């Protein structure tokens, strides 16, 4: 068995639509499609609690989960996973988990820069500002957020707690970012 996702994205999308209908939510102009790329030499899909938590948080917003994969802390493989998520799977947002700290194996920001076009610093500034109120360790993050064409790539921490906290700090702005990248204007 590979480290590919172990859920059905089509069923997840149907559940998101059902959730919106049950809660009287109007559909977004564009419902974001999100891919999760966990970057780790040690985690398996079963041990990736951050990725699993993000799936639940994404679906709770009524968004689609396009994929979830685990790749080793290898710059080229991380870059390939990001390219696959954007170019083949057409994910609007790629959330990477892990590899953005100070360990010498942490190469996710560099891999992101290798395959993306331009920085979106405000998103990681918001993540750090949100997290620094919780722990001083947030200042040790080297996370970046970048665009690859009309796709957004955001580096999140690898721990479940930190990934949740960072998600909470940025999720409100992401639908607008997706709409803007899709050419729907401000």
In SS3 terms, the chain reads as: CCCCCCCCHHHHHHHHHHHHHHCCCCCCCCCCEEEEEEECCCCCCCCCHHHHHHHHHHHHCCCEEEEEEEECCCHHHHHHHHHHHHHHCCCCEEEEECCCCCCCCCCHHHHHHHHCCEECHHHHHHHHHHHHCCCHHHHHCCCCEEEECCEEEEEECCCHHHHHHHHHHHHHHHHHHHHHHCCCCC
73 falls within a domain: yes
90 falls within a domain: yes
23 falls within a domain: no
Number of domains in the chain: 1
Q: Distance between CA 54 and CA 139 in Å, rounded? A: 22
Query: pLDDT tens digits, residue range 146-158?
Result: 999 999 999 999 9
How many of the other CB atoms lie within 10 Å of CB of 82? 27
140 falls within a domain: yes
186 falls within a domain: no
Q: Residue 147's pLDDT is what?
A: 98
How many of the other CB atoms lie within 10 Å of CB of 52? 18
Domain of residue 146 covers: 9-17+31-181
When pLDDT is averaged across residues 90-96 and rounded to a whole number, the result is 98
93 falls within a domain: yes
- Tokens matching residue 44: 């398996």
Q: Residue 30's pLDDT is what?
A: 81
- Tokens matching residue 13: 């999308």
146 falls within a domain: yes
**pTM of the entire predicted model:** 0.84
Query: pLDDT tens digits, residue range 32-65?
Result: 999 999 999 999 999 999 999 999 999 999 999 9
Residue 147's alpha-carbon distances to 37, 94, 155, 177, in angstroms, are 16, 10, 12, 11
Strands 33-39 and 93-97: parallel
91 falls within a domain: yes
Query: Among residues of the chain, what percentage have pLDDT more than 90?
Result: 81
Query: Among residues of the chain, what percentage have pLDDT more than 70?
Result: 83
Query: pLDDT tens digits, residue range 105-147?
Result: 999 999 999 999 999 999 999 999 999 999 999 999 999 999 9
Q: What is the CATH number of the domain that holds 116?
A: 3.40.980.10
């Amino acid at each position: 068995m590979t480290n590919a996702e172990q859920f059905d994205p089509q069923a997840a999308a149907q559940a998101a639509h059902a959730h919106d209908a049950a809660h009287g939510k109007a559909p977004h102009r564009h419902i974001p499609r999100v891919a999760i790329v966990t970057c780790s030499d040690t985690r398996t899909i079963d041990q990736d609690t951050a990725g699993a938590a993000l799936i639940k948080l994404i679906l709770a917003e009524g968004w689609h989960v396009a994929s979830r994969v685990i790749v080793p802390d290898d710059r080229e493989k991380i870059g390939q996973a990001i390219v696959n998520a954007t170019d083949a799977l057409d994910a609007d947002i790629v959330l990477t988990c892990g590899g953005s700290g100070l360990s010498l194996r942490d190469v996710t920001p560099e891999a992101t820069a290798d395959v993306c076009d331009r920085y979106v610093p405000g998103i990681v500034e918001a993540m750090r500002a949100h997290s620094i109120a919780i722990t001083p360790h947030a200042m040790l993050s080297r996370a970046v957020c970048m665009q690859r064409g009309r796709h957004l790539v955001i580096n999140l921490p690898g721990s479940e707690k930190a990934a949740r906290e960072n998600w909470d700090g940025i999720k409100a702005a992401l639908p607008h970012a997706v709409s803007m990248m899709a050419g729907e204007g401000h």
